[in-house]
Structure 1
Amino acid sequence: MAYLAKEERRKAIILATLEVAKEKGFAGITTRAVAKQLDAATGIIHHHFKSLSELKCEALRYLSQKNGANCITISNDLPPTQALLRLLSFNVTPEERSETSVWVSAADEANRDPEFARVYGEETNKSHEWLCSNLKEGARTGEYTLTLPVEFAAWKLMSLAFNLYDVSNLPDTALTPDMAVQILKDELKSTLGLESKDLASQLLSSH
């Protein structure tokens, strides 16, 4: 591996870790697998991260920061409803699909590793904070008519959308993306008062 400054090397290790996670999930991350992805010796990883758990935690933080920056960009470019639908869209890019699979495996890892669970909870809270901001702005502009307190509505939408996405993408599930979108569309109408005829098409539209 070519010479890199300390922070650049740490970032390179984290990116290699996420590539392994995309293929094997967080459960499949080992120092050997990361070193192979990085084309480096395992000793380099041990030098920069005191444990495999720390490496996994830092990889999750990096992914969360990337997603958070994406949310901010979308919020700055689009009105609340369009920004929300863009983030909840079921027809994601291949990169977003692989990242979603990483988040699914992260939830499983959180059940195995207490430290990772703490970080997973912290980063999930950040997603909730963004959604709360979106809901507050949508209510302020009159785009949303909330039927629940903002914090509750945000958790409800997050939980429903992410679980529908996960299940509808399983290989043998009876839940199709069209069915999942219809369920989410009904919830957006119930919780936010959104009644646009284009909701379903926007949730399935390409980016």
Structure 2
Amino acid sequence: MSYLSREDRKRQILDTAIVLVLEQGLEALTARSVTARAGTSTGQIHHHYGSLSELQAEVFEAITKRYLEEELPAGLALDEQLLYMLDPGDREVIGPYLRLWSDAEKLIEKNEPLREVYEKALIGWQQLIVSAIESGTRKGERRLKTGTADEAAWRLIAAALGLENLAASRLSVLPDNFVVDALTVFIANELAG
């Protein structure tokens, strides 16, 4: 084990944990699994993180922060922006990220630090959708059929999460474009024009 500064060692542990979680899921994250990969001791994990829950929360936050800070492709109409934010796209590529959210949903009941960053990430996602809706309605692209942009964003997130759970089940009766087609309907139910 080579000497690293406190900040560098913590960064090494976090980076290793991120890779591990994207490969094996949040539930596979243990002090031993990280130390085996990082070439450090479990004492280092416990030195930098008060608990495994704290490390899980920091990993979840780091990964979701990247997504929330990602720039939308330029020139998208409002409906296209919403589909981009609500549909994860290629499930083979995005699978580890979907598993991350699914694992977090299972763990938040017993993991308060993870619950806090999970809620923060959901609120961040919702605010991105609100901003897109408000910008699109200001430009006259569409108008809300009912309620506020805030309410519409939460309804769209609820629809997206439910649809993603169905898609993750890989039911043979679901058509290939099921999620995109259904989200298009949900967006049309929220916005007119």
- TM-score interval, normalised by the smaller of the two chains: 0.7 to 0.9
- The structure 2 residue matched to 1:114, chosen from 103, 107, 112, is 112
| TM-score of the pair, normalised by structure 2 | 0.85
From the superposition, tell whether residues 136 and 103 of structure 1 become closer, same or farther in structure 2 (CA, over 3 Å): same
| AA aligned opposite 1:45 | I
| TM-score of the pair, normalised by structure 1 | 0.80
| AA aligned opposite 1:14 | L
| AA aligned opposite 1:137 | S
**1:96-149 Cα deviation digits (max 9, x unpaired):** 332122111111111232332122112211111111111111111122221231
Note if contact 2:82-2:132 (Cα within 8 Å) is conserved in structure 1: yes
Q: Does 1:28 align with 2:28?
A: yes
Which consecutive unaligned segments of at least 5 residues does structure 1 have? 195-207
**1:23-72 Cα deviation digits (max 9, x unpaired):** 332222110011122232222211111111111111111112111111xx
* Percent of residue pairs bearing the same amino acid type: 24
Q: Does 1:151 align with 2:119?
A: no
In structure 2, how many angstroms separate the alpha carbons of the residues matched to 1:108 and 1:54? 16
From the superposition, tell whether residues 177 and 162 of structure 1 become closer, same or farther in structure 2 (CA, over 3 Å): farther
From the superposition, tell whether residues 19 and 166 of structure 1 become closer, same or farther in structure 2 (CA, over 3 Å): farther
In structure 1, how many angstroms separate the alpha carbons of the residues matched to 2:2 and 2:93? 26
Cross-structure match for 1:61: 61
Aligned length: 191
Cross-structure match for 1:197: none
Tell which deviates more after alignment, 125-134 or 34-43. Answer: 34-43
Note the aligned Cα RMSD (angstroms): 2.3
Cross-structure match for 2:191: 192
Which consecutive unaligned segments of at least 5 residues does structure 2 have? none
Question: Aligned-pair distance for 1:79?
Answer: 3.7
Question: Aligned-pair distance for 1:182?
Answer: 2.0
In structure 2, how many angstroms separate the alpha carbons of the residues matched to 1:12 and 1:19? 11
Tell which deviates more after alignment, 143-152 or 128-137. Answer: 143-152
| AA aligned opposite 1:123 | A
Look up the SS of the partner of 2:72 in the other structure.
helix
